Amino acid sequence: MQVYFLGTGTSQGIPVIGSHHSVCQSNDPKDKRLRVSVWITWDDYSVVVDCGPDFRQQMLTSGCSHLDAILFTHEHADHTAGLDDIRPFFFKQGKDIPIYGHQRVLNNLKKRFDYIFETENRYPGAPGVQTFEVINNQNFQMGSTDIIPINVHHGNLQVFGYRIKDFVYLTDVKSVDETEIQKMKGVKVLVVNALREEPHHSHFSLQEALDFIHLIQPEKAYLTHISHLMGFHEEVQQRLPHNVFLAYDNLKITL
Ligand SMILES: [Zn+2]
């Protein structure tokens, strides 16, 4: 399995438009972060988690040329606003692109991208999707592989993370119930959000993410959904435990 970090930034991306913050003005490519997403490939499958406003650029940079599915974590714009840009995959592959998400998220997409879901008088240039509802405690399959939804909380909002084999991807998490911790046991690679050092009402701070990693005990953990307020990549990385890494855009890992 290969995991490609398409974007590792928080909702505004880094640099933030108009910002004079030193991290936003850094020349280190690792300090430039698009909106958060990963591209996961295994066997013949090619899947992205979320589809934010940088999706087009991310597909071009990563060289992704085939898309079997999008797994959505939740409906916030930094995770969904790029949905129209699946058009090239739809045209090339000649069939609806499967999208997976909580029913609330699918309903939200239907409202915001009504033309994509239109069944009558469809505009010929619109992309097509096939929706699959993700239900808590119900695994689903891609080929022979189980996809395990992990139900977590982003402040008051429900969010799904996903476990695929020994890989767990969790973003926009502030709290996790004990039942969900069990679903992550034995995982080799954990990706989890860490916004900044200061606490935030709906995201793990750096310390909260480190405490969570200590609880799950993966072999390696990667931090994502990072704000410019976290600091410079190189400086923050030096302070992390030996098996914890700040993810950065275009980082590829193999499991
Ligand atoms: Zn987000």
- Strand 45-49, strand 37-42: pairing: antiparallel
**How far is it, in rounded angstroms, from Cα 56 to Cα 244?**
29
The pLDDT value recorded for residue 167 is 98
Please tell me the distance between residue 50's alpha carbon and the centre of ligand 1 in angstroms: 10
Q: Residue 234 phi/psi, 5° resolution? A: -60, -40
**How far is it, in rounded angstroms, from Cα 218 to Cα 53?**
30
Please tell me the distance between residue 40's alpha carbon and the centre of ligand 1 in angstroms: 19
Please tell me the distance between residue 174's alpha carbon and the centre of ligand 1 in angstroms: 12
**How far is it, in rounded angstroms, from Cα 40 to Cα 181?**
22
Please tell me the distance between residue 225's alpha carbon and the centre of ligand 1 in angstroms: 7
**Cβ–Cβ under 8 Å, residues 134 and 124:** no
Global confidence as pTM: 0.97
The pLDDT value recorded for residue 166 is 97
- Strand 220-224, strand 244-246: pairing: parallel
**How far is it, in rounded angstroms, from Cα 137 to Cα 150?**
8
Provide CB contacts within 8 A for 140, sequence distance 6+: 100, 132, 134, 146, 147, 149
Provide CB contacts within 8 A for 21, sequence distance 6+: 15, 228, 229
Please tell me the distance between residue 182's alpha carbon and the centre of ligand 1 in angstroms: 24
Q: For the chain, list the domains and their CATH numbers.
A: 2-15+31-247 (3.60.15.10)
Please tell me the distance between residue 254's alpha carbon and the centre of ligand 1 in angstroms: 24
**How far is it, in rounded angstroms, from Cα 168 to Cα 68?**
19
Low-confidence ranges of the chain (pLDDT < 70): none
**Cβ–Cβ under 8 Å, residues 131 and 151:** no
Please tell me the distance between residue 188's alpha carbon and the centre of ligand 1 in angstroms: 24
Please tell me the distance between residue 149's alpha carbon and the centre of ligand 1 in angstroms: 18
The pLDDT value recorded for residue 149 is 98
Q: How many separate helices (H) and strands (E) can be counted in the chain? A: 8, 15
**How far is it, in rounded angstroms, from Cα 96 to Cα 115?**
14
Helix (H) or strand (E) holding 78: helix 77-80
Please tell me the distance between residue 124's alpha carbon and the centre of ligand 1 in angstroms: 31
